[in-house]
Amino acid sequence: MSTSPPGPQDLPLLGNTHRYSRDPFSFIETLTRSYNGLSTFTLGTEQTYLVTDPKEIERILVSEDSKFRKSQTIRSGSIDDLLGDGLLMSGGDFWQRQNQRAQPAFAPARVMNFGKEISGYAERMMSGWNDGDVIEIDSSMAQITVKVIVSVMFGTELDDRTTEKVQNTLEPLGEMFEPKPAQFLLPEWVPTPDRIEFDNAVDSLEDILDSLVDERKGTEDGEMDLLSILLRAQSDVDEVTEELVRDELMTMLLAGHDSTALSLTYTWYLLSQNPETERRVHDEIDEVLGDESPTASDVRDLDLTERVIQEAMRLYPPVYTIFREPAEPIRIGGYRIPKGALVMLPQWGVHRDPRWYDDPESFDPDRWTSDRASGRPNYSYFPFGGGPRHCIGKHLSMLEAQIIVATVAQNYRLRLAPEQRSTLELAPSLTMHPSDPIQMEVKKR
């Protein structure tokens, strides 16, 4: 009996690094469908375990989460330079204190107050649109979600010029984390062109954050946005240093807008390819809202709109894989996994697994109706992670996405521009982005 899980044959020295780097999505999907919930391959110098059994994923993220930690292999120097000890990357008791400190900023009662503000940003975005304009929808969605996260979590406004500066840093940041063979083989101190651009982008973002902090100092008393909470804690808690405030803000700026922007981008793309579903969405929005701007209470009645966004995140999960490592030797799927091993929990593979989804490549929002969804196991769908370390901004992200979709769809239909390819090419980084801008034509309703 084998003591190691099955998996594809490794090449000498390279393992399967070349295959994963060339197309991680097809590689993950192949392993998900070829092996029964657990497989192994070599990535760089790491023996890697791909876990696609929902029961095991739930165990790792929820019931036995204390036996696992954030992967130290993935926590590279570049990640440290970018996110440091922010909420996304820290661990242990330190993370527990951070998470508890941040919770009031994400309290449901507070989040539910943002509906009018979010729809206002969407209306301002559309004020620059004219019937027949061609826009880059991924850029437009990133622009609005940056403005929203800065407003609701930092308690201030970003002007258009600064927002554009933030957006211009995203490409070099993302390219640094795309899986390339050299990335796994070269030391991080080697000054490659990607590394130089990355460092410059980090410096640029830090300058913006420094300005936001300076602007807010002295105005934080009584406010419950994240920056105010951190500034107050900085006066009272030794561990809340200037560096930690920077790390928390950088994490929130990037993680807090990126996944929502991508969910919206993929939602518009899928609706443009499925006009009958788009028509149903417009009908629902017209019936629920009429000519009124959507509020947080309205989203409860936008059932189809919510299912459309859920389905977009199933087919195109912005976070396409999660990494963990066992804090001690542990058995997964009947095999012994050593302490410190690299464990991948891929949303991309699990969300497209035909064991859980009929016709998994198709866009079918009605698969999320209660009668059809009830038969699937927990953690066959986990776009926001799960367990104690689930995305702290999950409810804000869903509220934001629904309100932006509703506000835009009240006024426009979005179609792929004639010159835009209908096939979506994807780029893997910390999140899953379109390889190229997505050009869409806005049509007045």
Q: Note the pLDDT tens digit of each residue in 78-128.
A: 788 888 999 988 988 999 999 999 999 999 999 999 999 999 999 999 999
Same domain, 343 and 432: no
Distance of alpha carbon 63 from alpha carbon 59, whole angstroms: 5
Its domain, for residue 37, covers 1-83+324-381
Regions of the chain with pLDDT less than 70:
1-2, 13, 73-77, 176, 178-191
> Which of the listed residues 336, 352, 381 is the one where a domain comes to its end?
381
* pLDDT score recorded for residue 190: 66
Residue 16: partners with Cβ closer than 8 Å, 6 or more residues away: 8, 10, 27, 41, 42, 43
Residue ending a domain, choose from 381, 411, 426? 381
One domain for residues 110 and 121: yes
DSSP states of 45-90 as a string?
A: TEEEEEE--HHHHHIIIIITGGGEEE-TTT--HHHHHHHTTSTTT-
Token digits for 377? 């196991």
Q: Do 302 and 346 fall within a single domain?
A: no
pLDDT at 321: 96
Can you tell me the distance from the alpha carbon of 414 to that of 132, in angstroms, rounded to the nearest whole number? 10
Instruction: Say yes or no: 7 and 96 in one domain.
Output: no
- Nearest CA to 362 out of 373, 351, 372 is that of 351
Among 335, 356, 381, the domain-final residue is 381
User: Is the domain of 355 the same as that of 267?
Assistant: no
Report the C-alpha gap between 28 and 20 in whole angstroms. Answer: 8
Same domain for 218 and 350? no
* Total number of domains in the chain: 2
Check: CB of residue 392 under 8 Å from CB of residue 107: no
How far is it, in rounded angstroms, from Cα 165 to Cα 211? 13
Q: Are residues 438 and 370 in the same domain?
A: no
241 shares a domain with 119: yes
The DSSP string of 290-348 is: TTSPP-TTGGGG-HHHHHHHHHHHHHS-SS--EEEEESS-EEETTEEE-TT-EEEE-HH
How far is the C-alpha of 135 from the C-alpha of 91, rounded, in Å? 40
CATH classification of the domain holding 228:
1.10.630.10
Coil, strand or helix at 427: strand
Cα three-residue angle 30-35-40, rounded to 5 degrees: 85
Q: Looking at residue 296, what is its pLDDT?
A: 95
CB 265 within 8 Å of CB 437 = no
- Closest C-alpha to 345, from 364, 374, 369, 317: 317
Q: What is the pLDDT of residue 80?
A: 81
Query: What does pTM read for this prediction?
Result: 0.94
Percent of the chain surpassing pLDDT 70:
95
User: Which region, left, alpha or beta, applies to residue 132 given φ > 0 means left and ψ of -120 to 50 means alpha?
Assistant: left
In terms of Cα–Cα distance, which of 10, 43, 55, 72 is closest to 339?
72
21 and 146 share a domain? no
Kindly state whether residues 173 and 232 are assigned to the same domain.
yes
**Tell me, what's the pLDDT at 71?**
82
Same structural domain, 419 and 438 = yes
Cβ-based neighbour number of residue 208 at 10 Å: 19
Asked if 116 and 252 sit in the same domain, the reply is yes
Dmax (CA) of the chain: 66
Give the per-residue pLDDT at 12.
Answer: 74
Q: What pLDDT, on the 0 to 100 scale, is given for residue 185?
A: 55
Q: What is the pLDDT of residue 1?
A: 46
Q: What is the reported pLDDT for 25?
A: 96
Give the residue among 111, 390, 433, 129 at the shortest CA–CA distance from 262: 433
